[in-house]
Structure 1
Amino acid sequence: MNIFILEDNLYQKERLLATIKDILKEENLTCRHLEAYSKASNLLDNIKERGSHQLFFFDIEIKDEARKGLEVASELRQVDPNAVIVFITTHSEFAPISFKYKVAAYDFIDKALDPEDFKEQVRDCILYTSSLSGGIQSEVAYFDYKSSKAQIKVPLHDILYFETSQTAHKLILRTKTERLEFYAKISDVEQMSDKFYQCHRSFLINLDNISRIDKSSQLVYFDNGETCLVSRLKMKTLLTKWENNIS
């Protein structure tokens, strides 16, 4: 689980940080990253992972910022449909407005609550996110990769392919909406789903998202127009796997 805070008021930021740390200790929960920002751009620039293990606490009103909390949350939601978003605010009247931004916030927490009630609402958000990280989730299948250097959790049906990066020991994950880069071996990732097939030394594809295969050009096509190379020696096996997957 990773927790991020966007709050420009120093007192409120320190209060929320202290509350979260207390809860993590009381519940014996591990948080890989706990970070607080006062500027939206800094927060967005430092989000390296996607998935339901990501918990965000946003203040709706950020002074001297072009992007307010609702706009930042909307921007985040477009690239991470599974993150848990919570608003900490003195403006409860903004709750209905959030639907316009299609944020799907898990909760709105009033800063004016007494300390115990405030803490219990924050606790509920943390425990909820922790339960998702532990796999208590919907029937949607996920690619859930964890290592000492990375944690990535994205819906399997969103993945198009993986490719080797120019950076040694790194892979690039291409989904329908984004590009993620992380440390991993392509052979290890292939073992994580029977939907994955390494069709080339540089490419690992998701059989579910292939739109067509061109044998003459040795290319795999996806619905968004992207392509991957197919090794001549792997074309026959790929065609068999794809046909079996469709049937």
Structure 2
Amino acid sequence: MSYPIIICEDDPTQLKRLRTLIENYLLFHNNFFQLDLSVITPNEVLEYLKSSAPSHGTYILDIDLQADINGIDLAEQIREFDINGNIIFTTTHDEMAPTTLKRKVAAIGFIEKDQSIESYRDELYGTLTYIEKLTTKSPEAKQHFTFEVGNQLFNFDQDEVFSIESSSVPHQLVFTSKTGQYEFYGKLKELEKQYTFLFQLSRSCLINVSNVRQIDFPSRSVLLKNGTTKKFSIGKAAKLKRTINAL
């Protein structure tokens, strides 16, 4: 699969230059990256995130966007949609670099515009090459799923998790694993943010996408490896497909 590149630069001249550099880079790396979006306003990026649900995207953002939000604000919102995204800042304000650390947006690159086109190009290409190596050679560490029931603490390997659903008891969740079912108090939205391997299939159900056996898009149903079937809403279809393809 190819991973998306998204550019947000408010200066049309700078945007055109950056887009040209990326297109030239893709002539030799189009099997890994694809240029999905190059826009002037941050709102266009947010609309793209909502409609496309990208995973492991590379976001090249100008810090000073001359809009309601700046590049750092935009990066924080990108993290809500694409937690594994790679963020590259381009700016003439190099003094803003410490702010990106304080805001915890985990930028992978910080490229100054005030340098020769050759230096700018080399730094950009070097960062993209680094992202490619990082993505292909560094497997994502597996998480453990933990919860408490009374005075007991339960700890499960990621591969043991099948689903977490809302219970008929208010504020309780039903956790299904390879060894059985458990009920505990919690919130699905908080668990989705905490555990990156969980996918929100519907308002009442999270699943471990690694344990999906089959997806039937016409009937909007997912068959898990334990033989259970879960339904998903039509609005989740595109994101579910992208998430499965990214595994």
TM-score range, shorter chain: 0.5 to 0.7
Distance 1:62 1:138, change over 3 A: same
TM-score (normalizing by structure 1): 0.59
Query: 1:138: Cα distance to partner?
Result: 3.7
Unaligned stretches of 5+ residues in structure 2: 144-157, 160-192, 209-214, 233-247
Per the alignment, residue 185 of structure 1 pairs with 216
Query: 1:85: Cα distance to partner?
Result: 0.2
Superposition CA RMSD, Å:
3.5
- Number of residue pairs matched by the alignment: 173
Per the alignment, residue 107 of structure 1 pairs with 109
Per the alignment, residue 17 of structure 1 pairs with 19
Q: Aligned match of 1:129 in 128, 131, 142?
A: 131
Per the alignment, residue 151 of structure 2 pairs with none
Structure 1 residues 226-237: aligned runs within 5 Å: none
Query: 1:102: Cα distance to partner?
Result: 1.1
Query: 1:112: Cα distance to partner?
Result: 1.3
Unaligned stretches of 5+ residues in structure 1: 144-153, 166-171, 177-183, 204-247
Distance 1:161 1:105, change over 3 A: closer
Structure 1 residues 66-105: aligned runs within 5 Å: 66-105=68-107
Asked whether the equivalents of residues 222 and 230 of structure 2 are also in contact (C-alpha less than 8 Å), the reply is: no
Per the alignment, residue 58 of structure 2 pairs with 55
Asked whether the equivalents of residues 58 and 85 of structure 1 are also in contact (C-alpha less than 8 Å), the reply is: yes
Q: Aligned match of 2:201 in 159, 162, 173?
A: 162
Query: 1:158: Cα distance to partner?
Result: 3.6
Question: Which amino acid in the other structure matches residue 53 of structure 2?
Answer: E
Q: Secondary structure at the match of 2:115?
A: coil
Asked whether the equivalents of residues 84 and 106 of structure 1 are also in contact (C-alpha less than 8 Å), the reply is: yes
Query: 1:96: Cα distance to partner?
Result: 0.3
Q: How far apart, CA to CA, are the structure 2 residues paired with 1:116 and 1:173? A: 50
Q: How far apart, CA to CA, are the structure 2 residues paired with 1:173 and 1:129? A: 33
Query: 1:91: Cα distance to partner?
Result: 0.5
